[in-house]
């Protein structure tokens, strides 16, 4: 497994096109691999995430079974001249060694972009409909779901009582850092509402404790939640400071 980081040159038209179209970003990511990888069964899939840290700092993270070649992204949305002098334009790390080192009880900072949804029934007898959570309270509640945490092998750390903002329900160490509502066409040439995709993405920052290393490894390489093709599901960990 590999973890890759690529920085967009946001001043370039190619970068702006990619950053405004999850379809285009997904295609660009998948083009980094010589063969299309299977995504069914127990095979790890290609996960990706965009981190909008600042206007001039947008990073693409990719977790993949194979090492990617992002030459095409550098040419379209990076710094090709810098790459020509020996700087490849992206960094790829051995993720397998990091995953193998995860241990029960260890604590980490995390970032996750996910598509928090629930199922509602508009009227009696009607089928349920998948609907996005709209408020930070419900979005955080989705991640705090005990079954989800157990299935993914982690537990969100609780906030010490003397540091809680009780009026905001600040019981756990997790915040919503960013909330985006994506609305785009499946195909560029269509204007039909039937061919449009609407996805709510939420980026969480927080702290967790590992409860089941094997389950967490699976979550880190298979993704968490829905809409993985549109940049959701990828969780990354960082040492606590």
Does one domain contain both 194 and 234? yes
Contact 207, 108 (CB under 8 A): yes
Does one domain contain both 113 and 86? no
Q: What digits encode the pLDDT tens for the residues 82-132? A: 877 777 789 999 999 999 999 999 999 999 999 998 666 566 666 666 676
Number of domains in the chain: 2
Locus of tokens 């990511």: 29
Does one domain contain both 73 and 140? no
pLDDT for res 39: 57
pLDDT for res 231: 94
Does one domain contain both 37 and 95? yes
The last residue of one of the domains, among 99, 122, 149, is 99
Does one domain contain both 87 and 121? no
Alpha carbon distance 217, 54 (integer Å): 29
Alpha carbon distance 141, 116 (integer Å): 9
The last residue of one of the domains, among 64, 80, 99, is 99
Does one domain contain both 114 and 35? no
Query: What is the model's pTM?
Result: 0.87
Domain limits for position 29: 2-99
The last residue of one of the domains, among 71, 99, 127, is 99
Does one domain contain both 56 and 171? no
Does one domain contain both 69 and 150? no
Does one domain contain both 9 and 87? yes
Does one domain contain both 130 and 74? no
- Asked whether the predicted pLDDT for residue 35 surpasses 60, the reply is yes
pLDDT for res 123: 65
Neighbours of 21 (CB within 10 A): 16
Q: What is the CATH number of the domain that holds 76?
A: 3.30.70
Does one domain contain both 32 and 64? yes
């Amino acid at each position: 497994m590999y973890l890759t980081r690529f920085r967009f040159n946001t001043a370039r038209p190619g970068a702006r096109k990619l950053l405004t179209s999850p379809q285009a970003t997904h295609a660009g990511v998948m083009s980094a691999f010589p063969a299309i990888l299977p995504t069914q069964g127990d095979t790890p899939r290609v996960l990706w995430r965009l981190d909008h840290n600042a206007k001039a700092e947008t990073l693409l993270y990719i977790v993949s079974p194979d090492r990617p070649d992002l030459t095409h992204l550098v040419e379209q949305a990076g710094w090709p001249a810098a790459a020509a002098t020996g700087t490849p334009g992206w960094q790829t790390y051995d993720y397998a060694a990091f995953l193998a080192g995860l241990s029960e009880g260890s604590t980490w900072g995390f970032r996750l972009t996910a598509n928090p949804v629930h199922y509602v029934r508009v009227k009696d007898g009607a089928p349920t409909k998948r609907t996005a959570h709209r408020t930070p309270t419900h979005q955080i509640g989705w991640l705090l779901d005990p079954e989800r945490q157990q299935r993914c092998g982690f537990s969100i750390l609780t906030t010490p009582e003397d540091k809680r903002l009780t009026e905001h329900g600040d019981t756990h160490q997790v915040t919503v850092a960013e909330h985006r509502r994506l609305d785009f066409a499946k195909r560029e040439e269509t204007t039909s509402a039937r061919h449009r995709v609407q996805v709510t993405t939420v980026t969480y920052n927080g702290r967790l404790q590992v409860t089941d290393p094997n389950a967490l490894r699976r979550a880190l390489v298979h993704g968490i939640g829905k809409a993985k093709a549109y940049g959701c599901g990828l969780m990354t960990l960082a040492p606590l400071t």
